Structure 1
Amino acid sequence: MLNTTQTRTTFKWGKGAALALALTFGMALAGCGNNAGSNAAANAAAASNGGNNASSNTAAASASASTDTDSSSNTTAASTDKKLTVYSAGPEGLATKLIEGYEAKTGVKVEMFQGTTGKILARMEAEKSNPVADVVILASLPSAQGLKDEGLTLPYPEAVNADKLNPDWSDADGNYFSTSASALGIAYNTKLVKTPPTSWEDLTKPEFKDQVNIPDPSLSGSALDFMTGYLSVKGDSGWSLFENFKKNGVAMAGANQEALDPVITGAKGVVAAAVDYMTYSSKAKGEPVDIVYPKDGTVISPRPAAILKSTQHEANAKAFIDYLLSDEAQKMVTDAYLLPGRTDIKADNRANLDEIPQFKVDWDYMNKNGADITEKFTQMFK
C-alpha cells in the first residue's frame, strides 16, 4: 500500500494534448480515482482497459542488491523500499522486458499499468487526489510537455546518458526523457496495394476510396502528434487534407492497433498516420504489410519517460530512468523496431532517423492546440 501521507497533486490540464487525451477516458475511469494501492490500481485498470490490458509484471527478479550498479550503464543505486509503479504506453512486450531488466539490476519490484497515452493520462486525472504512478512513459511528446507545464514532473538533469539523447525530443532540465520514438507513415497491405502511395495527398485519390483507416487522436498520442504536427507546418490550410480524407471515405478506427488490424487481414488497404514499429513488427511475423514515409515529410513521435513529483520512491524512479537510457535498454528498444532515443545508437531492422523525410514541426503549437484539434478532427470523422 502507498503511504497515506503521499503528496496530493492537483491536475490542471490546459488546452494542450494532455487534456485532449485525458478527457476521453476521465469519466470512464473516475470510479478508480481514489485508489490508494498500486496493485488495486493496476487491477482496476485491467477491467476498464479492454484490449489494452493492464498488467502487473510478475517477473521474479532478485538478482542484485539495492546497492549494486550496472557496469555498462552506471544505473543509480535503488533505495531499500524496493517498490516502483510505472504507467507505460507502447509495446507491451518491450515494456515487460524493460521492467524485467530493471528488476534484475536493482531488486526493485515494479507494478505496471499498460495502456495508451490517453488511458494513462485519464488514469492520472482520476487519481489526482491520491497519485499512484512514480514514472510514466507516454507515446506523445506534447503530453509530457503538458505534465511539465503543470509542475507535475520531478527534474532529473543528472540522469546517466541523458547527454546522448536527441536534444529535440527531451527536456534540457531533465523533466522528461524520450528514450525511444516512432515515425508516422502509410502502412499498406502488400497484396491489395501494388503501387504504394508516396504522399499524404495520394490517399485522396479514387483508387483509395473507402480503403483507408486513420487512428483516433483521442485514443492515440502518436496520431495526435501527426495531426498537430502536420497543422503546425501547414497552418489552417492543412485541414483541407483531412477534409479530403473524409470525402474519400477514410475511417477513424480506434487506437493504432485497431486501425492496423483490418489492413493486416485485408479488410482495408491502408492506414494513414500508422505507427511504424507496429508495421515492422507485423511484417517480421510474415504478415502482408509494409510502410512508406511520404516524400513530402512526416512527424516523428518521441516516447518520453518522466518521474512524477508525487513519487514516494524517488531513488528507484531515478534508477529506472538511468536503466531506460542504458545500452541494454536501448538495445531492447531497437529490437522492438522503435527508433532509439540515444543518438549514438542505430537500429539495423528498420529505417533510421536520417532516412525518414521529416516535417519541421512546432512542438509548442502542438502542445497548446492538441485539445482543439482533437475535438475538430473527431467531430469531422464521426
Structure 2
Amino acid sequence: MLNFTPIRKRFQWRKSTALALALTFGLALAGCGNNAASNAAANGAAASNGGLNTSSNSAGAASSSTDSSSNTTTASADKKLTVYSAGPEGLATKLIEGYEAKTGVKVEMFQGTTGKILARMEAEKANPVADVVILASLPSAQGLKDEGLTLPYPDAVNADKLNPDWSDPEGNYFSTSASALGIAYNTKLVKTPPASWEDLAKPEFKDQVNIPDPSLSGSALDFMTGYLSLKGDSGWSLFEDYKKNGVAMAGANQEALDPVITGAKGVVAAAVDYMTYKAKQKGEPVDIVYPAEGTVISPRPAAILKSTQHEANAKAFIDYLLSDEAQKLVSDAALLPGRTDIKAENRANLNEIPQFKVDWNWMNENGADITEKFTKMFK
C-alpha cells in the first residue's frame, strides 16, 4: 500500500513512493477507455472528496491548434480541465476565469497549500483527477519530474522568457510566479525593524515571533533548506536560537501572519512577502524587510501531470499562465512574475532583493530530514 504521509510533510517525493505512484497513474491512464469515462471518474472523485470549485465560462468552440491572436495554444473539444493550485485564491480564480474566457474550457479547481494538494493526490492515487498542479515549492516540482510524473511541454509559448533558474529546460515545470521570504512586522509594535535574521533571536523580540510550519508551507521549507544549503550544519544554530527566544511555529503562511496583523505578535520570520504586501495595501499595519545578508526566492511551479486525460487543454493552460495577460495578473497580486521581461508593480522587484545563492538540488534531497528536525525542535 502506498504511503504518502512523508510526502505531505516534506513536500518532496521519496523514490520508491513516486515510482509506485507513477505506476498507479499509468494503470489509471491505460484503464480509461475514453475521455468520457475518465471525466466521469474525475467528476465523481471531485464530488466525493469536496473542495473542488467549478467555474464555467461558455466561450466559443475550441480546437487543438495555435491561436495566433492570443499567442496561446487553444484547447481541445472536450472542454474540461482540473487544476490543483497552491497560489493565492484570488489570483488563482482570476487565472481560471481568464483561461476559460479564451478557451471555453470548464475548469474545476482545488485550492490549498502544497501539503493539502499532496494529501488530495494521496486520496486519489487509485484514480488520478488533477491535470495540472501549481505548487508553492520548487523542490516539489523537481521531485515530480525526477520520478517521471510530469508531462514535458518544451514548446510552451513564452517559456523562453521565464527565469531559467526557476523552470525546467525540458518543460516539465514552469515557475510562472515567485515570492520572496522576508521579515514581516507590525508597524505599530515594531518601531525599529530587524535588519538581519539573527536579530530575531535578540531579547527585544522575545516571544514576539512566529515562523511558518515547513510541513504545511512549501515556501517556509524553501527558506529553511535554502538557508542550510548555504550555511551547512552550523546554520541550525539560528533556529536553535529562535527556539530559545520563544519563536513559535504557527501553521501555514497566513496563520503565521494573521496574529501580526492583529497585534497579538510582532513579527513573522520567513514571511511570504506577497501576503504582507496585500495586507499593507488593505491598510493593515504591516510591512516587510529583506535582510541585507540575503534571503530565498520561492518560485511557484506549474506542471502537467503525465496522467492527464486532457493534454491539449493542459498545454493551453500553461500557455495562458505564461501570457502577458496572466503575468499582469501575477504582478497585480503582489507576486514576482515568472517572466524576466515583466516587472512587478507596487512591490520590490527581483533586482531589489538580496538573495542567497542556494542549491536547489541539495534542498530537494534534504527537505525530508530538515522538515523532521525542524518540526521536532519547535513542537
TM-score normalised by length of structure 2: 0.89
Is this contact kept in 2: 1:42–1:112, CA < 8 A?
Answer: no
Instruction: Tell me if 1:215 matches 2:205.
Output: no
Residues 313/367 of structure 1: CA separation in 2 closer, same or farther (3 Å cut): same
Q: Secondary structure at the match of 1:375?
A: helix
Give a deviation string over 1:271-327, Cα, whole Å, max 9, x none. 000000000000000000000000010000000000000000000000000000000
> Which consecutive residues of structure 1, in runs of 5 or more, have no partner in the other structure?
1-9, 27-33, 47-53
Q: Secondary structure at the match of 2:368?
A: helix
Report the counterpart of residue 268 of structure 1 in structure 2: 265
Instruction: Tell me if 1:135 matches 2:132.
Output: yes
Is this contact kept in 2: 1:140–1:301, CA < 8 A?
Answer: yes
- Which of 370, 373, 376 aligns to 2:370? It is 373
- Which of 103, 117, 133 aligns to 1:106? It is 103
Q: Secondary structure at the match of 2:255?
A: helix
Instruction: Tell me if 1:63 matches 2:53.
Output: no
- Which of 282, 291, 296 aligns to 1:294? It is 291
Q: Secondary structure at the match of 2:73?
A: coil
Report the counterpart of residue 20 of structure 1 in structure 2: 10
Give a deviation string over 1:177-229, Cα, whole Å, max 9, x none. 00000000000000000000010000000000000000000000000000000
Residues 191/178 of structure 1: CA separation in 2 closer, same or farther (3 Å cut): same
Instruction: Tell me if 1:199 matches 2:196.
Output: yes
Q: Distance in 2 between matches of 1:290 and 1:86?
A: 32
CA-atom RMSD in angstroms:
2.3
* Alignment size in residue pairs: 356
Residues 14/254 of structure 1: CA separation in 2 closer, same or farther (3 Å cut): closer
Report the counterpart of residue 4 of structure 1 in structure 2: none
Amino acid at match of 2:60: S
Residues 190/71 of structure 1: CA separation in 2 closer, same or farther (3 Å cut): farther
Instruction: Tell me if 1:156 matches 2:153.
Output: yes
Question: How do residues 354-365 of structure 1 correspond to structure 2 at under 5 angstroms?
Answer: 354-365=351-362
Amino acid at match of 2:89: E
Is this contact kept in 1: 2:11–2:137, CA < 8 A?
Answer: no
Amino acid at match of 1:309: K
Is this contact kept in 2: 1:21–1:122, CA < 8 A?
Answer: no
Residues 327/229 of structure 1: CA separation in 2 closer, same or farther (3 Å cut): same
Instruction: Tell me if 1:316 matches 2:302.
Output: no
Structure 1 residue 61 displacement after superposition: 1.3
Report the counterpart of residue 51 of structure 1 in structure 2: none
TM-score normalised by length of structure 1: 0.89
Structure 1 residue 62 displacement after superposition: 1.5
Residues 44/240 of structure 1: CA separation in 2 closer, same or farther (3 Å cut): farther
Q: Distance in 2 between matches of 1:290 and 1:70?
A: 42
Q: Secondary structure at the match of 2:53?
A: coil
Q: Secondary structure at the match of 1:57?
A: strand
Report the counterpart of residue 187 of structure 2 in structure 1: 190
Q: Distance in 2 between matches of 1:12 and 1:158?
A: 34
Give a deviation string over 1:165-184, Cα, whole Å, max 9, x none. 00000000000000000000
Q: Secondary structure at the match of 1:56?
A: strand
Q: Distance in 2 between matches of 1:13 and 1:172?
A: 28
Q: Secondary structure at the match of 1:290?
A: strand
Structure 1 residue 330 displacement after superposition: 0.3
Report the counterpart of residue 35 of structure 2 in structure 1: none
> Which consecutive residues of structure 2, in runs of 5 or more, have no partner in the other structure?
18-27, 29-37
Is this contact kept in 1: 2:59–2:104, CA < 8 A?
Answer: yes
Structure 1 residue 22 displacement after superposition: 7.3
Structure 1 residue 90 displacement after superposition: 1.7
Report the counterpart of residue 32 of structure 2 in structure 1: none
Amino acid at match of 2:226: G
